[in-house]
Amino acid sequence: MEAFKRLLRLAKPYSTRLAMAMICMVIAGAMQSSLALLFKPVLDDVFLKKDVNTLQWIPFAVVGIFFLKAACNYGQTILMNYIGLRIVADLRNRLYEQIQKQSLAFFTQHPTGILMSRIMNDVMAIQSASSEAVTSLIKDPVTLISLVCVIFYTDWKLALIALIVFPFTIYPISKFGKKMRTVTKSTQITMGTLSSLLQETISGTRIVKAFCMEKYESNRFAAENERLFKLNMKTVSINAISSPLMDFLAGLGIAAIIFYGGYRVVQGYSTPGTFVTFLAAALMLYEPVKRLTNVNNTIQQGIAGADRVFSIIDLVPDIKDKSDAINLPHVSRGIDIENVTFCYEQTPVLKNINLSIKAGEVVAFVGMSGGGKTSLVNLIPRFYDVASGRILIDGYDIRDLTVQSLRGQMAIVTQQTILFNDTVRNNIAYGDIDRTEDEIISAAKAANAHDFIMKLPNGYDSNIGELGTKLSGGEKQRISIARALLKDAPILILDEATSSLDTEAEIEVQDALDNLMKGRTTLVIAHRLSTIRNADRIIALVNGEIVEEGSHETLMAKKGEYFRLYNLQFKDEGNDIKNERLAKDLE
């Protein structure tokens, strides 16, 4: 129940509204029991004794009771739903903020669809527990206690008979609650899997269609959807059996009341008014008991969702600021990598790397896939932390710096261009949305993007679609470069920024990159080696180790790893050229 206690603590900022809602619930519960008390004067005084005075005030009492009950129910519904929805909104904000704080390692371990399910589905399960369930837990016990007082006040012997079935309700309530929590957790996991499957197949729809896998993906979705259907049916079954079981137990109690109470009236030990008042209170008594039974299932569903939400909220980020972290001054001297080893899931990826990079130097990293190029560059902005050794920028260990000041002095352009479903203007100004129009246009011109932007329907105010789907690969990359230019950071990271482009687009993008690299300390992860011939230094990595470094000419003369990679790629590119010529001849 720790998760439920934490949910209740989230209501603390709204304690005034909660107190007002509780007052409304107490009054509404009391009004319910007061209705039962009216049956005795109606039967005994009005129908049997023909008392006109009683007849005159009873209708006004009934109207007053129903009005007060209705007003209080309305008030508590508005107040409790406000609190519940506010808690849900607060939880979503905290959950999303916590997810944003996590390192890249976290996102490799948690698929996008699963995280989306946590934010949307799991949090929604909490709403019922934090509004409807809390309402029932406060209002129904008040109603229950007041009705119990009524039946004991009316006939204590008959009350003992009526309450004899209550102990039998405890076991099914407990059993169904535990089963509901188990089923709910499985349901939420399946919904997360389904969300992940949707996210993957919709974003990768081109590949699905290219490989004619529509039927396969539909079958995969149908299988998960069927599993979700069966779990939802289990939830329905548990909820469905709870109410009829309570009705049956209530029937046993009511049958005992009618037999024993009717016998006392026949024998003259009780009046019809007393018996009907008692019977009415007893019938009313079982309604809040049934609701409390059902609310236990709702609470268990909410707790299952809360457990999953709090498991993320309680995660301590792998990458975080030290308590005495300082801001990084403007970079002027360079980067030093000293004896750095890095492991991914205990597998060594980089081994004892030592490297010094001067301010303003262009350093390219080359090697076969899996050699450690991207891993090494990802350590510099602290996307991951080193396993041993240290990285210094201008003599500061990057772990002693605030993450924001460290990354604030770096601009990144990657092979997989990430743009947002927003305007061109906002995508270029991403990171500093207060930049002026002239600054944005100047950055776009330097990135060779201004001309094609002006051809868009609304120019800089054109929406580019999800992940920039309305733009070509070269256009997306040039917007990404404009974004980096606008940031004007002293350290630039280029992660295979032209590898996915055709020759014509690459020429445009490479020209923009040349503008971007001027006067910056630049780290280039190279796929096409022809693009880094003019780098100040080229670092060749094999199996996470630096095997050679130097200029293009120096490394070609050594005839080592770089020479091998260059010739291998040149041969492949030569074959591509031959194939292009052959295709033209065939035409």
What does the alpha-carbon distance between residue 448 and residue 261 come to, in Å, rounded to a whole number? 93
Q: Which two tokens stand for residue 254?
A: 């009511």
- Convert the pLDDT of each residue in 344-367 to its tens digit: 877 888 999 999 999 989 999 998
Exposed / middle / buried, residue 468 (Cβ in 10 Å: 0-12, 13-18, 19+) = buried
pLDDT of residue 392: 95
What does the alpha-carbon distance between residue 578 and residue 580 come to, in Å, rounded to a whole number? 5
pLDDT of residue 275: 76
Q: What region, left, alpha or beta, does residue 346 occupy, with left being phi > 0 and alpha being psi -120 to 50 degrees?
A: left
Query: Helices 132-154 and 15-37 sit at what angle, rounded to 10 degrees?
Result: 30
Query: Which phi and psi (to 5°) does residue 349 adopt?
Result: -110, -35
Architecture in CATH of 2-184+238-313: Up-down Bundle (1.20)
Question: What Å distances lie between residue 9 and 12, 78, 262, 444, 586, CA to CA?
Answer: 5, 20, 49, 50, 75
Helices (runs of H) and strands (runs of E) counted in the chain: 22, 10
- Contact call for residues 391 and 397 (beta carbons, < 8 A): yes
Q: Cβ of 81: how many Cβ atoms within 10 Å?
A: 16
Q: Containing H/E element for 181?
A: helix 167-203
Q: Where are the domains of the chain?
A: 2-184+238-313, 359-371+404-578
With CA atoms as reference, report the closest residue to 134 among 82, 70, 188.
82
Q: Specify the pTM.
A: 0.71
pLDDT of residue 176: 67
DSSP assignment of 150-167: HHHHH-HHHHHHHGGGTH
Please name the residue that has the structure tokens 């904000």: 93
pLDDT of residue 324: 92
Q: Cβ of 348: how many Cβ atoms within 10 Å?
A: 15
Helix ranges (DSSP H) in 314-416: 373-379, 403-407
pLDDT of residue 380: 92
Low-confidence ranges of the chain (pLDDT < 50): 573-587
- Contact call for residues 470 and 463 (beta carbons, < 8 A): yes
What does the alpha-carbon distance between residue 452 and residue 459 come to, in Å, rounded to a whole number? 9
What does the alpha-carbon distance between residue 100 and residue 312 come to, in Å, rounded to a whole number? 11
With CA atoms as reference, report the closest residue to 91 among 60, 127, 55.
127
DSSP assignment of 502-524: -HHHHHHHHHHHHHHHTTSEEEE
Q: Which CATH number is 359-371+404-578's, of 3.50.50.60, 3.90.1300.10, 3.40.50.300, 3.40.50.10540? A: 3.40.50.300
